[in-house]
Amino acid sequence: MQSLNFESDDLAVTEEFLSNAYTRVQISNHGPHQVRTRIRREVLGSINFDQLDMGFDMAYDADPLGRVCLVTVHSGRIEENYHDSGPDTFTPGQTGLLTPPDLPYSGVIRTSRYGITMFDPAILDRVATNEGGQRVRVDGHRPVTIAAGNRLRRVLTHLQQIAADPDAANSPLTVTTASDYLAATVLATMSTTADNEPNAIDRHDAHPHTVRRAIAYMESHLGERIAITDIAAATFVTPRALQLAFRRHLDTTPLEYLQRLRLSAAHEQLGAALPGDGQTVATIAYRWGFTHPGRFATAYRHRYGRPPRQTLRE
């Protein structure tokens, strides 16, 4: 895509533009302000740098984007509903993963100015060395440390400045180098599935005791917003060691296991609900970190072979 500028005060026009420029999305106004949308895009090879100014509270429900999407909030806040780990909120000065490439996403943008950086996941595959040639995934939505977040934010700002320079943006060497630079920074600052050789400490820490401590922490924080970095910190290991331990002993990832625990908790509460106590599928799903009822129902049916409403009725 080429550079673009978009402005509109019309909700339907804004929805049509977002669907064409990003992915199919449904939006609505969830606040008192009138619709006002401003979007500017700079392009550097296959990387898009978009600056967005949403002058209203825009609720959105979107199909998978197909691209890695990093966000940096300048003002307001973004309340994102993560399909695998529940809701989280980005506030000014924070940077992270807005949505994985292959999952639908939803949330509310609260009168916010923010930037998003989108790129093909294949860039990560090219730079990383991953066992068996498997695709590299960013499997946490926050940088691994505060310092890592600051580093990622500086690199994104630098690359956006390069994209705004026509001479630099049209240089094939600059474009290739910038793509590798971005991928290397993401791999170094975010939790990913890249199979960089674990160090001796990580291999030592990836034992069954680590898994048991992590599961105990998950079970006591099921209704809270926790990321893989929180689990690793509570377990006294690195995120890399934590992921290695879960793959080695349970053949899964920490976040997949967390979703399994949350589904089990919701299943138990659905079965224990009594007629007339006011509980609904939506309220129970939200209690355990599932903010999108439709996606909760899909995950529940896949695990238990029937819709959650049927369990609630019984």
Please give the average per-residue pLDDT across 156-181, as a whole number. 88
pLDDT of residue 135: 77
pLDDT in tens, 262-311: 999 999 999 888 877 878 888 888 888 776 777 788 888 888 998 998 88
63 falls in which pLDDT band (50, 70, 90)? Answer: very high
Structure confidence at residue 134 (pLDDT): 64
Contact 105, 83 (CB under 8 A): yes
Per-residue confidence (pLDDT) for residue 132, from 0 to 100: 47
CA gap 66, 58 in Å, rounded: 21
Among candidate residues 180, 169, 183, the one with its CA nearest the CA of residue 45: 169
pLDDT of 199 above 80: no
At the second CATH level, the architecture of 258-313 is Orthogonal Bundle (1.10)
pTM of the model: 0.66
- Report the mean per-residue pLDDT for the chain: 88
Q: Do residues 111 and 33 touch, judged by C-beta distance below 8 A?
A: yes
Q: What is the pLDDT of residue 131?
A: 47
Return the pLDDT at 1: 47
| Domain map (residue ranges) of the chain | 4-192, 200-252, 258-313
For residue 253, pLDDT over 90 is answered with no
Tell me, what's the pLDDT at 129?
Answer: 54
Residue 52 predicted with pLDDT over 70: yes
Class of domain 4-192: mainly beta
